[in-house]
Amino acid sequence: MSKTYRVAILGATGAVGTELLELLESRNFPVAELKLLASERSVGRSLPFKGENIIVEAVSDRALENVDIVLASAGGSTSKAWASVAVEKGAVVIDNSSAFRMNPDVPLIVPEVNPQAAADHKGIIANPNCTTILMTLAVWPLHQVRPVQRIVAATYQSASGAGAKAMAEVKTQSSAILKGEEPVAEVLPYPLAFNLFPHNSPLTDSGYCEEELKMVNETRKIFGTQEIRITATCVRVPVLRAHSEAINLEFAEPFSPDEAREILSHAPGVKLLEDWGKNYFPMPIEASGRDEVLVGRIRQDISHPCGLELWLCGDQIRKGAALNAVQIAELLVEKNLLQPTKAYVAR
C-alpha cells in the first residue's frame, strides 16, 4: 500500500465508528486525510487518531468532497441519504447498514469468503449483518469441501448489537436490579439485564423477525446460491459485547468432526478453541476485543447421520462490523479496485 487515501468515517462517534477509527490506526491503513462525520449533535467533539485530535464535522455535500473511501456506520436512513452523494463525488462507500445489502447492484462482502465479488462494485459495497459475518466465516470453509444443504442457526446476541447506549443501559439495569430497584428500558424494548428475549427487530408476516431473515438472505447472496435451506432464531442476551451462535449443518453425506476441526484450524479469520476434558469452549467474554471468530464444540449431530454441530463466538463490533469494513477497504486498495465498474444508480 504505497499510495495514501482520503478517508471519511460517517457515524464516527458511535460504537462502530470509534472502532473503525481505532482499526484504521492499529492496522496502519494508508490514510492521507481523515474526516470524521456525524449528526449535528456530535459536531465539535474531537476524537484521537495517530496522536492528533480530529474534530467531528456534520455530514454534508461539502464534507464529502475530495474523499476516496467512506466507511459508513450511521444507520440505514443516513446511508440512503448520503451514499449516492458520496459516490457522485468520486468516493467508494463501504456501508455497514442494511440499506443496500440485498440490492443486486451492490456486492455484499466478507473478504475471507467472497472477495472476488468486490470487483463488480458500482461505488457502494455493503457490509453484511454481524450474525451473518460470524456464521459465514465458520461455515464457508466447510462448504468448500462439502456443500452444505441446510443451516439451522440460533444466535445469542449481545447488547453491543444495539449500540453503545444499549450497552450502557444494561449496566444501569444491572445496578438497579442488584439494589432491588425496577430496571428501566429505553433503548431496548424490555430490560435485558438478567433477562433475554427474542430479537427486537420488526416481525414479518412469515413469523420471522428481520434479523433472522437477514441471516437467511444475506448468507445465500454471499455464498452465491439460493439452494441452501436456512432458518434462524435470534435472541438478545445479557452480554455486553460479542455474539454467540449455535449452528447445525446438514450435508449430503457424513462430515466427520475431526475433518471439520482440521479444516477450521487453518481457516482465515477463525480460531479453533476446544478443550473437551475441561468442557471449555468459546465464550463471548474471551471473544470480546479479538479479531478472530472463536469456533469449537464441533460434534456429530446424533439426530442426523449427515449433520454437524458447532458453536462460535465473535466480537460484533470488530469482525461483525468495523473490522470487516476495514478489511474490505484493504481489499479494494490491494487489488486496485477503488474505481467502480459502472456508475451506481439509486433504485
CATH of the domain at 95: 3.40.50.720
Same domain for 45 and 18?
A: yes
**Any domain includes 251:** yes
Instruction: Give me the numbers of helices (H) and strands (E) for the chain, helices first please.
Output: 8, 14
131 SS3 class: helix
The grid cell for 24 is 484504521
The reply to whether 79 sits in an annotated binding site is no
Alpha carbon distance 239, 170 (integer Å): 8
Q: What is the pLDDT, as a whole number, of residue 206?
A: 96
pLDDT digits (tens, 9 = 90+) for 168-193: 999 999 999 999 999 999 999 999 99
CA 225 to chain centre: 20
Annotation-wise, does 12 bind a ligand? no
- 281 and 249, same domain (yes or no): yes
**Best CA proximity match to 192, nearest among 169, 211, 218, 163:** 169
Asked, for residue 342, whether it belongs to a domain, the answer is no
Last residue of a domain, one of 176, 194, 212: 194
Tens-digit pLDDT profile for residues 184-218: 999 999 999 999 999 999 999 999 999 999 999 99
Q: pTM for the complete prediction?
A: 0.95
Structural domain range at position 169 = 164-194
- The three cell numbers of residue 88 are 457522485
Q: Which of 121, 143, 199, 243 is catalytic?
A: 243
| Sheet strands (E) in 184-242 | 197-198, 229-236
Residue 296 belongs to some domain of the structure: yes
| 59 and 48 belong to one structural domain | yes
Distance of CA 87 to the CA centre of its chain: 22
The pLDDT, as a whole number, for residue 190 is: 97
What total number of domains does the chain contain? 3
pLDDT at 324: 98
For the domain that residue 295 is a member of, what is the CATH number?
Answer: 3.30.360.10
d(CA 27, CA 241): 21
CA–CA separation, 44 and 60 (whole Å)? 15
Looking at the structure, do residues 221 and 94 belong to the same domain, yes or no? no
Co-location of 188 and 202 in the same domain? no
Helix (H, G, I), strand (E, B) or coil at 150: strand
Q: 236 among the known binding-site residues?
A: yes
The answer to whether 300 is a known ligand-binding residue is: no
The pLDDT of residue 179 is 98
Residues 10 and 120 grouped into a single domain: yes
Q: What is the pLDDT of residue 339?
A: 82
The verdict on whether residue 318 carries a ligand-binding annotation is no
Asked whether residue 180 falls in the same domain as residue 254, the answer is no
Whether 243 is catalytic is yes
Q: What is the pLDDT along the chain (347 residues), one digit of tens a residue?
A: 469 999 999 999 999 999 999 999 999 999 999 999 998 888 999 999 999 999 999 999 999 999 999 999 998 999 999 999 999 999 999 999 999 999 999 999 999 999 999 999 999 999 999 999 999 999 999 999 999 999 999 999 999 999 889 999 999 999 999 999 999 999 999 999 999 999 999 999 999 999 999 999 999 999 999 999 999 999 999 999 999 999 999 999 999 999 999 999 999 999 999 999 999 999 999 999 999 999 999 999 999 999 999 999 999 999 999 999 999 999 999 999 998 766 655 55
Compute the distance between CA of residue 124 and CA of residue 115 in angstroms, rounded to an integer: 14
Please indicate whether residue 266 is annotated as part of the active site.
Answer: no
User: Is 190 found in the same domain as 137?
Assistant: no
**SS3 state of residue 159:** helix
344 domain residue, yes or no = no
The verdict on residue 275 lying in a domain is: yes
**CA–CA dist 281, 264 (Å, integer):** 15
For Cα atoms 297, 223, 343, give the angle at the middle one, nearest 5 degrees. Answer: 140
Judgement on whether residues 171 and 242 belong to the same structural domain of the protein: no
Distance CA 347, CA 345 (A): 6
Q: Do 109 and 215 sit in the same domain of this protein?
A: no
Of the residues 121, 130, 199, 209, only one is catalytic, namely 130
Q: Do 270 and 145 belong together in one domain? A: yes
210 annotated among ligand-binding-site residues: yes
Is 88 contained in some domain? yes
Any domain includes 102 = yes
- Nearest by Cα to 42 from 28, 55, 24, 60: 55
Give the CB-side neighbour count of residue 183, counting CA atoms within 13 A: 20
Residue 255 and residue 118 share a domain: no
- Residue 161 known to bind ligand: yes
Q: Is 290 annotated as a binding residue?
A: no
pLDDT confidence of residue 342: 60
Give the β-pairing of 270-272 and 92-95. Answer: unpaired
CA 148 – CA 219 distance, rounded (Å): 12
Q: What is the pLDDT of residue 346?
A: 57
Q: What span, in angstroms and rounded, lies between the C-alpha atoms of 60 and 236?
A: 35
The answer to whether the annotation marks 226 as part of a ligand binding site is no
